[in-house]
Amino acid sequence: MIVGFNTDIKYRDEVFHIQTEDKGESNPTVETLVYHSGEILLSRRISYSHLLKKSDARKRIKDMMKTQHEQVILELKGGKFLHLLSLDTQVVNDMPLDEMVLDYLDQQESISE
C-alpha cells in the first residue's frame, strides 16, 4: 500500500477535503474522495490491476494517484462539482459578464433600500 494525498481546498468560501489513497494489492484501486462538511460528495476509483506485475508498478501507481488527485482538484476549482452542493450561494459561472454585473447591481440596490 502506498501513502496517499490529502489536500484542503477553499473554493467559494467553502472548504473541501480531497483524499486519494491506494487500496492495496488485494483491492488494486486508487480511490479519491471529496469531502465537504464531513460528507462525501464524490468518489472516483480506478483499477491498477494491470500494473501489478510490472517492475515499476510502485512508481506507476504513485503517478496514477498524483494525477487523479490533481485532476479532481482542478475539476473542483473549475466548478464541476457545484451541482453536488446545496449551498445558498448563487452559481454565476454560466452567466454572461453583463448579466452578472446587472444582477450584482440589483442586489446592491435592494440591500440599500
| 28 pLDDT higher than 80 | yes
Alpha-carbon distance of 68 to 65, in angstroms, equals 5
Look at residue 6 in the predicted model and tell me its pLDDT. 96
Mean pLDDT of 71-78: 91
Residue 9 lies in a domain: yes
> Does the residue 19 lie in any domain?
yes
69 located within any domain: yes
Question: How many domains in the chain?
Answer: 1
Q: What pTM was estimated for this model as a whole?
A: 0.70
The CA distance from 76 to 67, in Å, is 14
Q: Which domain holds residue 25?
A: 5-86
Q: Which residue has the higher pLDDT, 77 or 85?
A: 77
